[in-house]
């Protein structure tokens, strides 16, 4: 006699998957296994690559053996090079940051440009182009041949540089004016020592013997040419040196010779 089923109970039958469902499950399991294997492989490779990179770039594995300079340096001092390079050379040959080394070198005032490259198996080769100073600028800096104002240690300034002065935004204009005036004065044996322009755009120049030229704001080169045209003749009539020439007159100039009153020409 079968036992009777309790009233209100729900009949539960165990689900038996069919052949199609079993195949689907096996496919899912294989896909999951493949994905997991790929992930594990990627992690292993990444970890191995990181370890390998650290191993190869370790300072004791490939140490930096030498730093060579391919250019002859006249103004850049050894102490400046050491201060710039020492903090950047501890990482080993392969870990060198050549871009950072180049920037550090170009921060040295006398360095115009630098190129840096590794040379196997353990050398660093450096080529430096130094600034070419053509004048002292505003008594506090130097002016390069490309019109750049730079500020090296005054102890390294070359001797005999002419002096130029003017607003900070006008160094190239002052340099060009100096060259133009010197070309005019060369013909009469006069050498410029200084040129300046003030806030009112008025120009003046100082000669190597201390004589002063007042040139004004307009027609500066023309005024200098007019003065040069008669200077040699006037100087031959004097037994003393030029003290001041005021060239700002529209049709002439006033000259003062040392220890003599000014005369108008």
Task: Tell me which of 264 and 93 has the higher pLDDT.
Answer: 93
In this prediction, residues 127-133 reach a mean pLDDT of 97
- Select from 239, 243, 181, 170 the least CA-distant residue to 211: 243
Element (H, E) at 101: helix 98-106
- Select from 149, 262, 176, 261 the least CA-distant residue to 214: 262
Domain residue spans of the chain: 22-57, 66-130, 133-264
pLDDT of 53 strictly over 50 = no
Name which CATH class applies to 66-130.
alpha beta
Report pLDDT digits (tens) over 160-214.
Answer: 999 999 998 889 999 999 999 999 999 999 999 999 999 999 999 999 999 999 9
Q: Hey, what's the torsion of the CAs at 163, 164, 165, 167, to 10 degrees?
A: -150
In this prediction, residues 127-146 reach a mean pLDDT of 96
Predicted pLDDT of residue 120: 87
Predicted pLDDT of residue 39: 43
Which contacts of 78-85 are long-range, i.e. CB under 8 A and separated by 24 or more positions? 80/108, 80/110, 81/105, 81/108, 84/108
Task: Tell me which of 44 and 119 has the higher pLDDT.
Answer: 119
pLDDT bin (cut points 50, 70, 90) of residue 247 is very high
Task: Tell me which of 22 and 82 has the higher pLDDT.
Answer: 82
pTM over 0.75: no
In this prediction, residues 39-54 reach a mean pLDDT of 41
**Per CATH, is 133-264 categorized as 3.40.50.11690?**
yes
Q: Mean pLDDT across the chain, nearest whole number?
A: 82
The C-alpha atoms of residue 193 and residue 162 are separated, in whole angstroms, by: 5
In this prediction, residues 96-108 reach a mean pLDDT of 95
Task: Tell me which of 77 and 3 has the higher pLDDT.
Answer: 77
pLDDT bin (cut points 50, 70, 90) of residue 258 is confident
Predicted pLDDT of residue 55: 44
Q: Which of 32-41, 56-65, 156-165 has the lowest mean pLDDT?
A: 32-41
pLDDT of 59 strictly over 60 = no
pLDDT of 104 strictly over 50 = yes
Predicted pLDDT of residue 132: 97
In this prediction, residues 135-152 reach a mean pLDDT of 96
3-state secondary structure of 34: helix
pLDDT of 235 strictly over 50 = yes
């Amino acid at each position: 006699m079968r036992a009777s089923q309790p009233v209100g109970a729900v009949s539960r039958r165990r689900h038996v998957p069919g052949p199609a469902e079993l195949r689907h499950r096996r496919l899912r399991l294989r896909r999951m296994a493949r994905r997991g294997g790929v992930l594990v492989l990627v992690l292993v490779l990444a970890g191995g690559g990181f370890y390998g990179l650290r191993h190869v770039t370790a300072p004791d594995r490939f140490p930096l053996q030498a730093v060579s300079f391919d250019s002859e340096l006249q103004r850049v001092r050894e102490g400046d090079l050491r201060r710039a390079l020492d903090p950047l050379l501890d990482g080993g040959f392969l870990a060198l940051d050549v871009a950072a080394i180049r920037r550090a070198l170009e921060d040295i005032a006398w360095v115009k440009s630098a190129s840096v490259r590794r040379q196997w198996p353990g050398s660093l080769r450096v080529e430096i182009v130094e600034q070419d100073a053509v004048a002292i600028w505003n008594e506090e800096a130097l002016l390069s041949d490309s019109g750049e104002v730079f500020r090296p240690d005054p102890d390294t300034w070359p001797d005999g540089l002419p002096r130029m002065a003017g607003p900070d935004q006008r160094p190239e204009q002052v340099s060009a004016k100096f060259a133009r005036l010197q070309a005019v004065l060369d013909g009469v044996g006069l050498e410029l020592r200084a040129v300046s322009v003030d806030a009112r755009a008025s120009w003046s120049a100082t000669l190597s013997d201390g004589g002063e030229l007042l040139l004004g704001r307009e027609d500066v080169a023309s005024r200098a040419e007019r003065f040069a045209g008669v200077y040699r003749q006037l100087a031959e009539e004097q037994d003393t040196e030029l003290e001041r020439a005021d060239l700002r007159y529209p049709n002439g100039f006033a000259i003062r010779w040392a220890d003599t009153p000014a005369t108008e020409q």
